[in-house]
Amino acid sequence: MIATLRSESRLDEVTARPAQARAVVALARVEGRRLTRHPAVIVIVALAIAQTAPYLLAGDATGESTVGWLMQVSALLISFGALLGANLQASKSRRDGSEELFRSAPLSPGSRTVALALAAVWPMAVLALLLLAGDVAIRAAGKVAASDSGRSLFPLFDLVQGPLMAGLFALIGIALARWFPRALTGPVAVVGLFVLANVIGNAVNDVSWFRLTPFDPTFLDDGGALEALHVVYLAGLGAIVLGAALVPQGWSRGVRACLAGGLAIAAISGVFQLAS
């Protein structure tokens, strides 16, 4: 009898997992649409487009420094919008006192956090499309502009790094909301990261440890190996931040694996970047 009850309990648990996964994906789609329509994201996307459009009509629109500045700064600004929007969206239930209602829902707080993390794919996709459109517009304005070495002025690697940075910043916003559910947490984080980005961007000399920041300047002389390492490094950072966001919901085996895996990936790829 006991064995039968145990087998039925395990069967219920196994059959519940796909249903919960479908619920997480469904919630992620809803939260993703909400995030892309969040005022913090929409306003900053509009500002990024507004600051880019005049340069496409200027005579120096195809200058190497101008092209890099246009795309990378736009990606950074939209990433800040993703951080702020994700933070406000993730902390809304605690700020308006509806957290108890969510706790009575079928999805656990940890599952809701995972759904919010998956929702970051939406602003990543939007940013990738915007960067691609900007790249095409710059090439059209500059008649397929290229540098003296014959390479395209806008590194295609930025089409990967930009969306990854937006996803990482959205995860940072979610993690901060889980640890510090206050309305000012997101804006303070944006200001701090903005100051750090300015310090690195305005540095006189390029330093190797800059590669260990989310907003690596992407030096034009970098080879494919370093660029790939930086992509892996950003993925490792994302796993660390996601694990940190899940810690308040419990120190489970999955959380430990997420943190340990992210730390290992970030450490190994970071060391190789510094050694290159």
**pLDDT, position 221:** 55
| Cβ neighbours of residue 102 closer than 8 Å, sequence gap 6 or more | 93, 109, 112
Q: What is the pLDDT of residues 15-56, one digit of tens each?
A: 445 677 888 888 889 999 999 999 999 999 998 888 877 776
In a domain, 266, yes or no: no
* Range(s) of the domain holding residue 82: 2-204
| Cβ neighbours of residue 146 closer than 8 Å, sequence gap 6 or more | 152, 153
In a domain, 116, yes or no: yes
Of 271, 187, 184, give the one whose Cα is nearest residue 232.
271
Total domain count, the chain = 1
Instruction: Pull the structure tokens for residue 40.
Output: 């913090």
Q: What is the pLDDT of residues 240-254, one digit of tens each?
A: 999 999 998 888 888
Is residue 214 a contact partner of residue 169, using CB atoms and an 8 Å limit? yes
In a domain, 241, yes or no: no
Instruction: Pull the structure tokens for residue 17.
Output: 């997992």
Q: Is the pLDDT of residue 173 over 80?
A: yes
Q: Is the pLDDT of residue 87 over 90?
A: yes
In a domain, 228, yes or no: no
In a domain, 242, yes or no: no
**pLDDT, position 82:** 94
In a domain, 58, yes or no: yes
In a domain, 185, yes or no: yes
In a domain, 276, yes or no: no
Q: Is the pLDDT of residue 107 over 50?
A: yes
The Cα–Cα gap between 164 and 128 comes to 9
Q: What is the pLDDT of residues 200-218, one digit of tens each?
A: 777 667 677 777 887 665 5
